[in-house]
């Protein structure tokens, strides 16, 4: 089972990202679950979303404390939330940031595989708003081949309708621009 924890801010789409990945995995024939963890937070407050994907039924119904991957949708979260907490040593940290991989490692105390992309820049250029959810999907897929870009297109079309093409373009661009180290 693959377990992913997504960190973002309210309104950035961390929950939506987890849901879209789960839908695409289910469409592919896998088992998946996506759920948020937040209370009365308001837009802009730190939020966490969780995703599990498996080839067997998922019986767990708890937060993910030892993820295989952590995705950080907001660059400011890297320094105010312990995003790498519990991240497995052979795990992957995917970050929306301008920082280098070494700077990310220093800021998070995580020494494993890092994937970085300036998702905010891509979102602004492709979508016109700094909402990085679909952009970060590309970086997540670059980090680990759990689904293809094409397998996410139908869920994006269903979710975003006429705005889907811009979101697909942002996702593909982040996939191509993500730096793996």
**Domains of the chain listed by start with CATH number:** 2-180 (3.40.920.10)
* DSSP designation for 92: E
Residue 5: count of CB within 10 angstroms of its CB: 27
- Distance CA(128)–CA(113), nearest Å, equals 30
pLDDT at 88: 97
- Distance CA(79)–CA(67), nearest Å, equals 19
- Distance CA(46)–CA(65), nearest Å, equals 17
Residues 6+ apart with CB under 8 A from 42: 10
- Distance CA(58)–CA(142), nearest Å, equals 25
* pLDDT values of the chain reduced to their tens digit, one per residue, 181 residues: 999 999 999 888 999 999 999 999 999 999 999 999 876 656 788 899 999 999 999 999 999 999 999 999 999 999 899 999 999 999 999 999 999 999 999 999 999 999 999 999 999 999 999 999 999 999 999 999 999 999 999 999 999 999 999 999 999 999 999 999 9
pLDDT at 11: 85
Find where tokens 């119904």 sit: 61
Helices (H), 14-132: 14-27, 77-80, 101-108, 119-127
pLDDT at 40: 62
pLDDT at 142: 98
Note whether 92 and 113 are within 8 A (CB): yes
pTM over 0.75? The answer is: yes
* DSSP designation for 146: S
């Amino acid at each position: 089972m693959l377990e992913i924890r997504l960190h973002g801010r309210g309104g950035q789409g961390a929950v939506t990202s987890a849901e879209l990945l789960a839908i695409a995995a289910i469409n592919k024939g896998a088992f998946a679950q996506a759920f948020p963890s937040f209370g009365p937070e308001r837009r802009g407050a730190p939020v966490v979303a969780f995703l599990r994907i498996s080839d067997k039924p998922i019986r767990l119904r708890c937060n993910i404390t030892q993820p295989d991957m952590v995705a950080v949708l907001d660059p400011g979260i890297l320094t105010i939330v312990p995003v790498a907490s519990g991240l497995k040593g052979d795990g992957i940290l995917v970050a929306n940031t301008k920082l280098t991989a070494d700077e990310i490692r220093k800021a998070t105390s995580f020494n494993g595989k890092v994937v970085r992309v300036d998702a905010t820049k891509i979102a602004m250029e492709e979508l016109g708003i700094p909402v990085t959810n679909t952009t970060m999907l590309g970086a997540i897929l670059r980090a680990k081949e759990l689904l293809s870009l094409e397998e996410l297109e139908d869920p994006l079309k269903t979710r975003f309708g006429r705005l889907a093409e811009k979101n697909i373009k942002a996702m593909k661009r982040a996939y191509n621009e993500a730096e793996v180290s």
